[in-house]
Amino acid sequence: MTANASAMRFSRCIVRLPSSCVTEGLRAVDVGAPSFSHLKAEHQDYIEAMEAAGVKVDTLAALPEFPDAIFVEDPALTFPNGAILLRPGAPTRRQESFHIAPALQKCFENVLHLPEPGFVEGGDVLRTSSKVMIGLSERTNLDGASALIKCLASLGLEGEIVQTPPNVLHFKTDCSLLDDETVFTTRRLAASGIFKDFKTIFVPEGEEAAANALRVNDVVMIGTQFTRSIDLLDGLGYKLVPLATTEIGKIDAGLSCMSLRW
């Protein structure tokens, strides 16, 4: 692809190793606990894919008291000129922001804090080349989104509040950027018209979870099980890196949530 991918250009990221308690992670639909050994292998492949894409990976130690702490994108946001510590909407995840703060303070001079009482999870936040979209959901409320817009403004960024479809965990569960002009999205999310300024590629019916792909520099990471989505994007000329996500998918997770990128 020749399109400008400035919103997807990264040189560093933070990940956190999974703890054995990750098998007890939150899940909207219980399809069985993931295999810890297989999930660890998926996470390691993810790290190696990041490195192969040209990203320096900072790996944090596991947090045994927090099953979902592997999903570092939810308690914080990172941008080239600063970071924002969030307040996750899931009560069991609220303290994860405190534990990731030291790592962010080592990387950024400017670390902001989302004020109470609102809450936001990073899975509801999509950065584009022109703005930052914040999806309201069960994990991100209006108070939190409004406060986040003020934090973003202090970093020179424009925020926009949008709506996540009912019964969808996070805004980015249903969309991802393929380049600065193109969104890979489910039809249920695009139906609201929020992507009117973008080219849209619709996820094949039955593979809605494939919408949480991840563009990193010149490649698009996508779950190996989404064969029709892989064929679709490959046919459009995207350079794909298929990664196993079966086990992390059992605890409501995908590719974007396992790293903080900048």
pTM: 0.95
Q: Count the helices and strands in the chain (H runs, E runs).
A: 6, 15
pLDDT value for 6: 75
Residue 85: pLDDT band with limits 50, 70, 90: very high
Residue 31: pLDDT band with limits 50, 70, 90: confident
Proportion of the chain above pLDDT 90, given as a percent: 94
Which residues lie below 8 Å from residue 97, measured CB to CB, with a gap of 6+? 75, 76, 85, 86, 87, 88
CA distances to 105, 126, 176, 198 from 82, rounded to whole Å, are 9, 16, 22, 26
Q: Per-residue DSSP letters for 247-259?
A: HHHTTT--SGGG-
Separation between Cα atoms, residue 101 and residue 126, nearest integer Å: 21
Domain residue limits, the chain: 6-261
Q: Is 97 a residue whose pLDDT tops 60?
A: yes
To the query of whether residue 13 is one of the catalytic residues in this protein, the response is: no
pLDDT value for 32: 87
pLDDT digits (tens, 9 = 90+) for 59-75: 999 999 999 999 999 99
Separation between Cα atoms, residue 215 and residue 178, nearest integer Å: 6
**Secondary-structure class of domain 6-261 per CATH:** alpha beta
* Burial class of residue 3, CB neighbours in 10 A (0-12, 13-18, 19+): exposed
Which has more pLDDT, 123 or 3? 123
Amino acid at site 220? V
pLDDT digits (tens, 9 = 90+) for 2-22: 333 378 999 999 999 999 999
pLDDT value for 5: 39
pLDDT digits (tens, 9 = 90+) for 152-167: 999 999 999 999 999 9
Q: b or e along 119-130 (b: 16 or more beta carbons within 10 Å of the residue's beta carbon)?
A: bbbbbbbbbbee
Separation between Cα atoms, residue 173 and residue 239, nearest integer Å: 21
Separation between Cα atoms, residue 72 and residue 69, nearest integer Å: 6
Q: Which long-range contacts (CB under 8 A, 24 or more apart) does 100-104 make?
A: 100/14, 100/16, 100/60, 100/72, 100/75, 100/76, 100/260, 103/14, 103/58, 103/60, 104/14, 104/76, 104/78, 104/260
Q: For residue 49, what is the enclosing H or E element? A: helix 36-52
Q: Is 241 a residue whose pLDDT tops 90?
A: yes
pLDDT value for 177: 97
- Catalytic choice (13, 43, 151, 170): 170
pLDDT value for 4: 37
pLDDT digits (tens, 9 = 90+) for 130-185: 999 999 999 999 999 999 999 999 999 999 999 999 999 999 999 999 999 999 99
Query: What strand order describes the sheet that includes 159-163?
Result: 125-127, 132-136, 159-163
pLDDT value for 30: 82
pLDDT value for 23: 93
Residue 242: pLDDT band with limits 50, 70, 90: very high
Give the DSSP letter of residue 116. S
pLDDT value for 3: 36
Which has more pLDDT, 259 or 1? 259
Residue 1: pLDDT band with limits 50, 70, 90: very low
pLDDT value for 28: 78
Among 4, 39, 11, residue whose Cα is nearest residue 258 = 39
To the query of whether residue 170 is one of the catalytic residues in this protein, the response is: yes
- Catalytic choice (13, 151, 175, 257): 257
222 strand-pairing partners: 242
